[in-house]
Amino acid sequence: MNFKNFKLDLSNKNKDLIPQILTVLLLVLVIIYFTINAQNNMGNRGISFGFGFLSQESSFDITFSLIDYDGSHSYAKAFLVGLLNTILVSAIGIFFATILGVTVGIGRLSQNYLIAKAAEWYVEIFRNIPLILQIFFWYFAALRALPLTVDSINFYDISFLNVKGWYVPKFVWTNFSIFFYSIIAAVISIIFVSKYAKKQRDEFGKQLPTFYISIGLLIGLPFLTFLIGGVSLSFQIPELNQLSKTVYVYRGGVSIIPELISLALALSMYTATFIAENVRAGILGVNKGQKEAAASIGLTKGQILKLVVMPQALRIIIPPTTNQYLNLTKNSSLAAAIAYPDIVLVFAGTALMQTGRAIEIISITMLTYLSLSLSISVFMNWYNKKMAIKEK
Amino acid sequence: MIKSIKTWILVVLASSLLVACGQGGGGSGSKKSKTLDNTKKAGFVKCGVSQGLPGFSNADASGNWTGIDVDVCRAVAAAVLGDADKVKYTPLSAKERFTALTSGEIDVLARNTTWTLSRDADIGLTFVGVNFYDGQGFMVRKNSGINSVNDFKDGISACTNTGTTTELNMRDFFNSKNIKYEPIAFEKADEVVQAYDAGRCDTYTTDKSGLAAQRTKLSAPDDHKVLPETISKEPLGPVVRQGDSVWEDIVRWSLNTMIEAEEYGVNSSNASSLKDSDNPAIKRLVGAEGELGAAFGLDNEWSLRIIEQVGNYGESYKKHIADTNILPNRGPNELWTKGGILYVPPAR
């Protein structure tokens, strides 16, 4: 071959393109190789591939479910139970981790020596112990520390805490849908009110007490449904039942299982340390001059934090905190160790074992976590954009 | 569209199977066994065991594995490699065990595994026999006032292992009795024991042999008892991959040899002296007659080595299960000639 006549167009555009095309080609080849190999191996070992099993009867029960489920339902339904349980513990974890994280983060910057040191110790201890150990600690410590059912810790005769769980009264609604709509109506009207208030402020400089109006709407509208909408609420209080000489159980209320409590506790305590550090970094990242300027125009300490420091700090805090939310969600998969029926225990555990469909089930589980994480990312990116500096 | 999704999903997990390629598989029809060749080349038998079940497969402080499941692997090693100690043990959870076997990480699974239709037919496994006839039972606290499964009432909470037949039997049982129960399923047996010990659940259910073994791990073993009823059949046995019939036969007949040896009174101490026995069946067992080993590419002393190095089934049971006080009474695991159901095809 005459290389002199072989003209390679090395304009800038192609220079960038060629390595990229090569990379993609290589990736495709690797993927094809893996696929064929897996298919061959599975074929050789007589393993079939398919998702038909999802509609089969699962024939195992699950301790704790947000939807109606028992073993006569399908594997697909068991998957849904696991997914909802994962979302539940992640949501609870994120909620408490955020509150605790922000509190501790601000606490670390406190002028008060005791508060600052306590916050520092908390962060240093809890972020440096592996999460799985913390989960075991809270679970088995809780199990050992809590009393047996018959000697439950009694909260005013309506709620009981023991080794089998925390029993709280069950809400029994009549006409719940009317009540629910009233809350939606309240939220919509609050949005309108705040828009109107903003317009008033921008055009006429009038300050409306938006906060109090919102609270009033949120309480008043649902309250009205009790008076005229025929909504009523009663409580079903858990009752102690004796099953045999020493075996007792509470029935009637809602049971929050100890697995959920300890997992949520461990996840939020652990993640809160990282969020606290993010918060501290965010606040420290705001220029000192900003605070001084705010103070010089007569804002109070609270106002400075709320109106000047926090809006700027949030821009620094949100992106790394998004990572922590993602970590928390993924870490919730450690639930399997303490029998909290999350998606890993129920689907990638029990269902996998009963069906033997490892490739199908693991890939569904991975895709599920991927979608969960991406959803959180999308939401946090949207929030981040909202908080970002708007050039005017 | 479905096909493309399928392809993509295959890709994601292909790597695990890729690692396994080149091992196992093949061998159908001919007398060649890839697994046997690989085992000889590696110099050890790759054996999957439990993460610690006294009597069946349990590691002591210095990492030596003992138990009747372990003895199956030792028998295979004695037959194939001439040395019962040439075994590499891989502790597996209930969840991991079948994947480990089908992917070739192990070649024999001797992990108190229940033989069921769907496992045998559906997921690329073959059960080669039964080395322990078990059944599922319940353990409760002695002071609970529960003396039989008929004393269970709505609201009872039951701890067990996830990914086992136990979980399914438990549901069948409580459903048939129309009892609402709270199932709490842990991944590892040790956590089940801890949770039950702490009072998280009122009863602990698994195979009766497992209950007897795990009871020794409780803080006060004497405060607990196993209820008399057995709610299921649990024939436990070694498993191999589908598709290598020679290897399958080796494992099957290694186990059968141990049982047959007990039947004919051949044990580790008298085996070599029985070479000139009058009974042809005994002579075949100790390799003094016939060419039985040739059928799966082994020499003629393979069975003698099993008996000498591992012992017969009775010796194994006595050492690991009876003398350790797990289940002193052999029950169904007695020979058919002595009122049990242990019965193997003749080695001839």
Question: In tens digits, what is the pLDDT along chain B, a chain of 348 residues?
Answer: 444 455 454 444 444 444 444 344 333 344 678 899 999 999 999 999 998 888 999 998 888 999 999 999 999 999 999 999 999 999 998 878 888 998 889 999 999 899 988 888 877 899 999 999 999 999 999 998 899 999 998 889 999 988 778 888 999 999 999 999 999 998 888 889 999 999 999 999 999 988 988 888 898 989 999 999 999 999 999 999 988 899 999 999 999 999 999 999 999 999 888 888 889 889 989 888 888 888 888 898 999 999 999 999 999 999 999 998 888 888 899 999 999 999 999 888
Instruction: Flag whether residue B121 sits within 8 Å of chain A, measured between CB atoms.
Output: no
Residue B336 has which token pair?
Answer: 């058919």
Low-confidence winner among A3-7, A33-37, B137-141, B312-316 (lowest mean pLDDT)? A3-7
Nearest chain B residue to A60, by CA: B168
- Given B6, B200, B242, which is nearest A46 (Cβ)? B242
CATH superfamily of B136-232: Periplasmic binding protein-like II (3.40.190.10)
Residue A369 belongs to some domain of the structure: yes
Give the CA-trace dihedral at B307, B312, B316, B317, to 10 degrees: 170
Provide, as residue numbers in chain A, all residues whose Cβ is less than 8 Å from the Cβ of B163: 349-350, 352-354
In three state form, how does the secondary structure of B250-262 look?
Answer: HHHHHHHHHHHHH
CATH of the domain at A263: 1.10.3720.10
Look at the block and give the residue holding tokens 């799985």: A132
CB contact under 8 A, A244 and B168: no
Per DSSP, B232 falls in state: S
Nearest by CB: A63 against B98, B183, B198: B183
Every domain of chain B and the residues it spans: 29-133+236-328, 136-232
CA nearest to A144 within chain B: B198
Span A226-273, pLDDT tens digits: 887 777 788 888 888 888 888 888 887 888 899 999 999 999 999 999
Contact A164 B21 (CB under 8 A): no
Angle between helices A258-284 and A75-108 (to 10 degrees): 40
Report the C-alpha gap between B297 and B247 in whole angstroms: 10
Q: Which two tokens stand for residue A239?
A: 């009752």
Looking at the complex, does the CB of residue A353 fall below 8 Å from at least one CB of chain B?
yes
Picking from B12, B20, B151, the nearest residue to A366 by CB comes out as B12
- Burial classification of residue A93, based on how many CB atoms lie within 10 Å of its CB (0-12 exposed, 13-18 middle, 19 or more buried): buried
- The verdict on residue A218 lying in a domain is no
Q: What is the pLDDT of residue B19?
A: 41
- Gap between the Cα atoms of B168 and A172, Å rounded: 33
Q: Does a structural domain hold residue A285?
A: yes
**Is there a domain that residue A289 lies in?**
yes
Evaluate whether residue A54 is within a structural domain. no
Mutate to test the interface with A, among B4, B17, B122 (most CBs of A within 10 A): B17
Interface of B with A in 127-166 (CB under 8 A): 141, 143-146, 151-157, 159, 162-164
Interface residue of A35, A39, A40, A41 to substitute, partner B, most B CBs within 10 Å? A41
For A127, the domain range is 75-169+237-387
**Do B232 and B169 meet the contact criterion of CB atoms below 8 Å apart?**
yes
Cα–Cα distance measured from residue A280 to residue B277, given in angstroms and rounded to the nearest whole number: 86
A227-264 burial code (b ≥16 CB/10 A, e <16): eebebeeeeebbeeeebbebbbbbeebebbbbbbbbbb
Decide if A59 touches B, using CB distance below 8 A: yes
Number of residues in chain B? 348
pLDDT digits (tens, 9 = 90+) for A105-158: 999 988 899 999 999 999 999 999 999 999 999 999 888 888 888 888 888 888
Residue B136, beta-bridge partner list:
B207
| Residue A351 · residue A78 · CB < 8 Å | yes
Identify any residues that bridge with B108 across adjacent strands, giving them in sequence order: B47
The pLDDT score that the predictor gives to residue A177 is: 81
Which helix (H) or strand (E) is A34 found in, with range? helix A12-44
Name every chain B residue with its beta carbon within 8 A of the beta carbon of A63.
182-185
* Cα-based torsion angle of the residue sequence B19, B109, B243, A49 in order, rounded to the nearest 10 degrees: -60
Q: Which of A48, A140, A363 sits opposite B194 (nearest CB)?
A: A140
A370–B contact, CB cutoff 8 A: no
Q: Does A34 fall in a domain? A: no
Q: How many CB atoms lie within 10 A of CB A287?
A: 10
Among A60-74, A86-100, B190-204, which range has the highest average pLDDT? A86-100
A-chain residues near B147 (CB < 8 A): none
- Which candidate, B151, B159, B158, B202, places its Cα nearest to that of B177? B151
* Mutation choice for B interface testing from A350, A364, A367 by most B CBs within 10 A: A350
Q: Verify whether the Cβ–Cβ distance A45 to B185 is below 8 Å.
A: no
Question: In chain B, which residues have their Cβ closer than 8 Å to the Cβ of A161?
Answer: none
Domain B29-133+236-328 has CATH 3.40.190.10: yes
* pLDDT: which is higher, A58 or B263: B263
- Mean of per-residue pLDDT scores for chain A: 87
Split into its structural domains, chain A has a count of: 1
ipTM rounded to 2 decimals: 0.77
DSSP state of A349: I
Name the closest residue on chain A to residue B194, using Cα atoms: A140
Record: contact A38-B153, CB cut-off 8 A:
no
- Assess if residue A128 is contained within a domain: yes
